[in-house]
Amino acid sequence: MLARVARGPGLLALQGPGPGGVPRRCLAGLPRNTVLLFVPQQEAWVVERMGRFHRILEPGLNVLIPVLDRIRYVQSLKEIVINVPEQSAVTLDNVTLQIDGVLYLRIMDPYKASYGVEDPEYAVTQLAQTTMRSELGKLSLDKVFRERESLNANIVDAINQASDCWGIRCLRYEIKDIHVPPRVKESMQMQVEAERRKRATVLESEGTRESAINVAEGKKQAQILASEAEKAERINQAAGEANAVLAKAKAKAEAIRILAAALAQHNGDAAASLTVAEQYVGAFSKLAKDSNTVLLPSSPGDVSAMVAQAMGVYGALTKPTSPAARDPPS
């Protein structure tokens, strides 16, 4: 059985069974004690003195005692990317999924990462897999695809709670691929197609309803506008007729007033008699033109008699009526 013991997740030394089954370490890949050591940036070298932890070398120049001091672990402080192998998980609605991911972590405490766990990479990978299975068991298949961000966050929180004593901090976890069984995938596609058909039918019905509403609203507005236009037309026509009647009445009253003023002048009666005679003669000349029924005076050939008769009618109409004549007898 081989396990990594140096450079954190980077393989520098292997551990295998020694004599009698006791594990032993192969330190061939670790830096040797040359008294003066230069530690690269973003690396931490764990030094043991006579088999016991002594100190952690910082980047730069460091001095060690030969034979007594030995570099036992080299930890990288950079962000490390680990591929989580594909595994099967069962959702809340009993659907088996094949899922894998990528884990981003960083060593925060080289001492805990060296002595707190034998293989940090293997431990974090197994923890990520078990946490992923646990979190997927809480969600249904539909929610797995909708809540990937919350699922990643829950896995990161669970890993950090367990890996704190290892000196490792999980920064991010991302799900790469989710493989669904073929039959379940076909059912999901059928469900999506049915949902799209349903949505299309609903949208079509809503469009038909909106169209009918718009048409009815347009007819209503057209009828309202037509009735208002007819009302306004009638009002305008009535107003025009009233104004015409009023204008005619005013003109007739003005004509009567002018005629009365003319009759009151000198020789007004003679002028009125002449006008009446002319109108009488003109009316007599039109007899039998518009109708077959003719009313003739007693002496149609005597013009002077007709004029005298017309003047007699005019005089009777213009003669003032006495109070005794206006009051009927008791």
Contact between residue 119 and residue 4 where contact means Cβ atoms under 8 Å apart: yes
Shared domain for 167 and 113, answered yes or no, is: yes
> Rounded mean pLDDT of 144-150?
82
> Rounded mean pLDDT of 86-90?
86
In this structure, what token pair is assigned to residue 104?
């981003």
Assigned domain for 326 exists:
no
pLDDT of res. 213: 93
Q: Quickly tell me which residue has 């069974």 as its tokens.
A: 17
Residue 300 and residue 306: Cα distance in Å, rounded? 7
> Rounded mean pLDDT of 163-172?
87
Shared domain for 147 and 176, answered yes or no, is: yes
Query: How far is the CA of 90 from the CAs of 85, 125, 148, 179, 191, in angstroms?
Result: 16, 19, 16, 12, 21
Assigned domain for 61 exists:
yes
Backbone angles phi, psi at 80, to 5 degrees: -110, 140
In this structure, what token pair is assigned to residue 241?
């007729």
Residue 119 and residue 127: Cα distance in Å, rounded? 12
- Return all residues near 22 (Cβ < 8 A) that are at least 6 apart: none
In this structure, what token pair is assigned to residue 43?
């690396």
Shared domain for 40 and 68, answered yes or no, is: yes
Tell which wins on pLDDT, 200 or 20.
Answer: 200
CATH number of the domain encompassing residue 140 = 3.30.479.30
- Is the alpha carbon torsion for 200, 203, 209, 211 positive or negative? negative
Last residue of a domain, one of 76, 99, 130: 76
**pLDDT tens-digit series, residues 199-231:** 888 998 999 899 999 999 999 999 999 999 999
- Return all residues near 283 (Cβ < 8 A) that are at least 6 apart: none
Confidence category of residue 85, pLDDT binned at 50, 70, 90: confident
Tell which wins on pLDDT, 156 or 262.
Answer: 156
Confidence category of residue 319, pLDDT binned at 50, 70, 90: low
Range of the domain at 42: 36-76
Shared domain for 71 and 87, answered yes or no, is: no
Shared domain for 57 and 130, answered yes or no, is: no
Percent of the chain surpassing pLDDT 70:
72
Beta strands in the chain (DSSP E): 3-4, 14-17, 23-25, 36-39, 43-49, 52-57, 60-63, 69-76, 80-90, 96-107, 168-179
Closest CA to 262 of 273, 254, 271, 251: 271
Residue 69 and residue 32: Cα distance in Å, rounded? 10
Number of structural domains found in the chain = 3
Any idea what DSSP says for residue 166?
Answer: G
pLDDT of res. 274: 66
The answer, yes or no, to whether residue 21 has pLDDT greater than 50, is: no
Shared domain for 174 and 218, answered yes or no, is: no
**pLDDT tens-digit series, residues 35-72:** 888 989 988 999 988 888 888 888 888 888 888 889 99
